[in-house]
């Protein structure tokens, strides 16, 4: 069974109320989302929540909202998880800002290491990157997310985006990155 079929089958089983399918999709997605999410919660907001907590909340929200989700390919589900996680982080940052008595987390306790995207772009350009990414067609946006943010190899991207080969996936990613660069230049 292909990755796509697995996701599509699991989602349809979840939509039919299968609790085992919920757990299977949760367990399959957890390590990848956890690895991607590492370091994305700003250190100052870590006194109210840990990244791993937000990953779990994200997966729970995603799986609970699958009623209207349509699986087109594996990359769509990962992009869906990414969007929910980023919204969860934004919610946590807002909650932190409203908290009257907060204590700064000692730098030695938090992970201040920048994410892969931050290392490539720098923190100041991250907002421009997000805006340019959002402006891309869905297929290109997912290709960039899978390659740059999730660090997938081209054969994995080919399966996730239903491309016939790793070379086809490489070309899709190359085109997507070129369009992203154009959008960033504007």
138/175 same-domain check: yes
Per-run averaged pLDDT (10 residues), the chain, 186 residues: 65 87 87 83 69 87 84 78 88 72 48 59 73 89 89 88 91 93 85
- Same domain for 39 and 1: yes
State which residues form the domain around 133. 117-186
Give yes or no: residues 96 and 125 share one domain.
Answer: no
Residues 6+ apart with CB under 8 A from 74: 3, 4, 7, 159, 160, 161
pTM of the model: 0.64
Identify whether residues 55 and 97 lie together within a single domain. Answer: yes
């Amino acid at each position: 069974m292909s990755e796509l079929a697995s996701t599509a089958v699991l989602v349809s089983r979840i939509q039919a109320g299968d609790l085992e399918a919920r757990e299977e999709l949760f367990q399959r997605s957890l390590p990848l989302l956890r690895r991607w999410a590492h370091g994305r919660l700003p250190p100052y907001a870590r006194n109210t929540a840990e990244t791993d907590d937000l990953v779990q909340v994200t997966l729970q929200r995603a799986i609970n909202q699958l009623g209207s989700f349509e699986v087109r390919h594996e990359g769509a589900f990962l992009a869906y998880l990414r969007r929910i996680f980023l919204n969860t982080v934004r919610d946590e940052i807002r909650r932190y800002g409203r908290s009257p008595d907060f204590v700064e987390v000692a730098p030695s306790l938090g992970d201040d290491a920048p994410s892969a995207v931050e290392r490539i772009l720098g923190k100041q350009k991250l907002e421009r990157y997000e805006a340019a990414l959002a402006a891309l067609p869905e297929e290109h946006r997912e290709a960039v997310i899978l390659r740059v943010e999730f660090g997938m190899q081209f054969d994995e991207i080919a399966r996730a985006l239903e491309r016939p080969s790793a070379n086809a996936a490489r070309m899709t990613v190359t085109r997507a990155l070129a369009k992203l660069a154009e959008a960033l230049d504007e």
